Amino acid sequence: WVRREFASRQLTEMRLTPGVKFVWENPALTWGHPICSNRNSIVKRFLQTDCDFLMMQDDDIVPLHNPAELVFADVDVVGCPAKVRQEGYQLNWVAFVKDESGNGYVPCDLSRCPSDSDLVAVDVVGTGLICVRRNVIESIPAPFMDTFDKDGLRELGTDFAFCERAKAKGFKIFTAPYRVCEHIKEQ
- Which are the contacts of 123, defined by CB distance < 8 A and separation ≥ 6? 96, 97, 98, 105, 163, 167, 173
185: number of Cβ within 10 Å: 13
Report the distance separating Cα 33 and Cα 125, nearest Å: 21
Q: Reduced to 3 states, what is the DSSP secondary structure of residue 154? A: strand
Average pLDDT over the chain reads 83
65: number of Cβ within 10 Å: 17
Report the distance separating Cα 94 and Cα 108, nearest Å: 8
Where the chain has pLDDT below 50, the residues are 186-187
pTM: 0.81
52: number of Cβ within 10 Å: 11
Give residue-wise pLDDT tens across range 10-56.
677 777 788 877 766 665 655 566 778 888 888 998 999 999 999 98
